[in-house]
């Protein structure tokens, strides 16, 4: 008390104000950076963002034309990725939230594995895709079914999507587990009281109740997968394809990879700069609107959880 008395109240008030404004200022700095990235991208790209740009193929050595194959490729890749990642993610989340006991070493190991998957650098997934899917799986499939003819032992959209599915698996698991945990216990008890078994309860009460959470997880995964480039660098992304991929063993163009090659390998960087900005804008709009939807959904889940508990 004595020490405190020595400090005049006014100094304390000033210190408080300084602390508040200093930390508040850092928030402003971060938000300003976000806004400037967005602003510069929009300013640089919105003029080129036309309907033709979205629906046409690149022309004249990619100095003109649109980015349709890249949009299509990204969409198809994320679709296959979703099909692969979501069931795995949901089942693992159900295990973690419903079956695993607090002390279970197995469950703890899974949790740690999921966290590890979330922090492993994306380029490692690319290496894994190359070493496992292409060189191991692909080559063996070719040898077993196609007499060694090269079908699957090369980069293609399937291997790229599966690589990406691994990368986005933790995103799905975390989101779904969180949603499952918000299902109120009365609902589970009601189901059990009616004679349902645990699995029936999960299937008929828990899973339908966490549909929003599964959707959130899926959207977050798509948002993440659509923007990643490093995992597909050597597992399936192509510089240019003349035709859209119709088979799973074809290569594809992707928005993120397109930005990368356009900014480093196009014949005239300055002339194509608006196109690069426009492509960036498309990718940003895509990932942004997706994560915005996810944020809103998540917010609603949390609110529901608070109200019901």
Partner 1 sequence: MQKLITLLGVEIPCANDGITVYMHESNPVKELSLKQLSDIYTARITNRKEVGGPDAKITLYGRENSSGTYVFFKENVVKADYAASCQTLPGTAAVVNAVKKDKFGIGYGGAAYAEGVKHCMVKRDDNNTAYHPTEENIAKNLYSITRYLYMYMRNRPTGDVKKFVDWALSSEGQKVVAGVGYFPVR
Partner 2 sequence: MKQEDYDTDKKEFKSGTGLSLSIVEKQFRFSDWFAEKLIKSVSFFSIAFVILIFLFVFRESLPLFKGKADPEKTEITGDELSHSGDLRPEAYIPGGEVQSGEELSPEVYSPYEEAPETEVLQPETYGDVIPETYSAEEQTGYFSASDAYYVTDEEVDDPVRTLFSKDWQPVSDNPRYGLLPLFVGTLKVTLLAILFAAPLAIMAALYTAMFAPRRMKEIIKPVIELLAGFPSVVIGFFALMVLASFFQQIFGYASRLNAFVGAIAMGLAAIPIIYTLTEDALTAVPKTYVEASLGLGASIRQTAFSVILPAATPGIFAAVILGLGRVFGETMIALMATGNAALISANPFDSVRTLSATIGAEMAEVVFGDTHYSVLFLIGSLLFIFTFALNAVAEFYFKNKVIRRIQGK
3-class SS string, 12-26:
HHHHHHHHHHHHHHH
Burial bucket for residue 170 (CB in 10 Å: 0-12, 13-18, 19+) = buried
**Distance (Å, whole) CA 271 – CA 135:** 39
Q: Least distance (Å) from partner 1 to the CB of residue 224?
A: 23
Q: Any contact of residue 120 with partner 2 (CB under 8 A)?
A: yes
Q: Using CB under 8 A, which residues numbered 241 to 260 contact partner 2?
A: 251, 256-257, 259-260
Q: Any contact of residue 47 with partner 2 (CB under 8 A)?
A: no
Instruction: Using CB under 8 A, pick the residue from 96, 157, 275, 301 that binds partner 2.
Output: 96
**Distance (Å, whole) CA 304 – CA 182:** 8
How many residues does this entry show for the chain? 309
The one of partner 1, partner 2, none whose footprint includes residue 268, by CB under 5 to 8 A per kind, is partner 1
Q: Considering beta carbons, is residue 23 or 264 the nearer one to partner 1?
A: 264
Are 282 and 72 in contact by the 8 Å Cβ rule? The answer is no
Q: Using CB under 8 A, which residues numbered 217 to 276 contact partner 1?
A: 260-261, 263-271
Q: Report which of 219, 284, 285, 283 is spatially closest to residue 81, judged by C-alpha positions.
A: 219
Q: Least distance (Å) from partner 1 to the CB of residue 235?
A: 16
The one of partner 1, partner 2, none whose footprint includes residue 303, by CB under 5 to 8 A per kind, is none
**C-alpha of 301 from chain center:** 19
Q: Any contact of residue 283 with partner 2 (CB under 8 A)?
A: yes
Q: Any contact of residue 162 with partner 2 (CB under 8 A)?
A: no
Q: Any contact of residue 82 with partner 1 (CB under 8 A)?
A: no
Residues 6+ away with beta carbon under 8 Å from 309:
184
Q: Any contact of residue 141 with partner 2 (CB under 8 A)?
A: no
The one of partner 2, partner 1, none whose footprint includes residue 33, by CB under 5 to 8 A per kind, is partner 2
Q: Considering beta carbons, is residue 56 or 263 the nearer one to partner 1?
A: 263
Residues 6+ away with beta carbon under 8 Å from 192:
198, 201
- Point out which residues bind partner 1 (CB under 8 A): 61, 260-261, 263-271
């Amino acid at each position: 008390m004595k020490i405190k008395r020595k400090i005049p109240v006014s100094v304390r008030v000033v210190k408080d104000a300084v602390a508040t404004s200093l930390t508040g200022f850092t928030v402003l700095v971060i938000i300003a950076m976000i806004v400037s990235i967005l602003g510069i991208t929009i300013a640089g790209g919105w003029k080129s963002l036309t309907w033709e740009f979205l629906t046409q193929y690149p022309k004249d050595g990619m100095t003109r034309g649109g980015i349709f194959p890249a949009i299509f490729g990204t969409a198809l890749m994320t679709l296959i990725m979703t099909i692969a990642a979501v069931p795995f993610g949901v089942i693992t989340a159900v295990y973690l939230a419903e079956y695993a006991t607090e002390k279970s070493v197995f469950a703890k190991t899974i949790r740690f594995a999921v966290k590890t998957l979330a922090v492993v650098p994306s380029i490692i997934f690319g290496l894994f895709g190359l070493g496992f899917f292409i060189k191991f799986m692909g080559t063996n499939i070719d040898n077993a079914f196609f007499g060694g003819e090269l079908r699957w032992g090369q980069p293609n959209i399937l291997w790229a999507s599966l690589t990406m599915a691994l990368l986005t698996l933790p995103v799905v698991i975390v989101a779904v587990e969180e949603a499952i945990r918000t299902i109120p216990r009365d609902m589970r008890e009601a189901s059990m009281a009616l004679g349902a078994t645990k699995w029936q309860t999960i299937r008929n009460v828990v899973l339908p109740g966490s549909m929003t959470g599964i959707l959130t997880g899926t959207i977050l995964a798509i948002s993440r997968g659509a923007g990643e480039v490093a995992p597909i660098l050597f597992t399936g992304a192509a510089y240019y394809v003349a035709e859209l991929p119709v088979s799973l063993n074809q290569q594809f163009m992707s928005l993120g990879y397109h930005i990368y090659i356009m900014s480093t390998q196009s014949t005239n960087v300055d002339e194509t700069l608006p196109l690069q900005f426009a492509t960036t804008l498309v990718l940003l709009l895509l990932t942004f609107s997706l994560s915005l939807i996810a944020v809103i959904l998540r917010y609603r889940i949390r609110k529901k959880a608070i109200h019901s508990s």
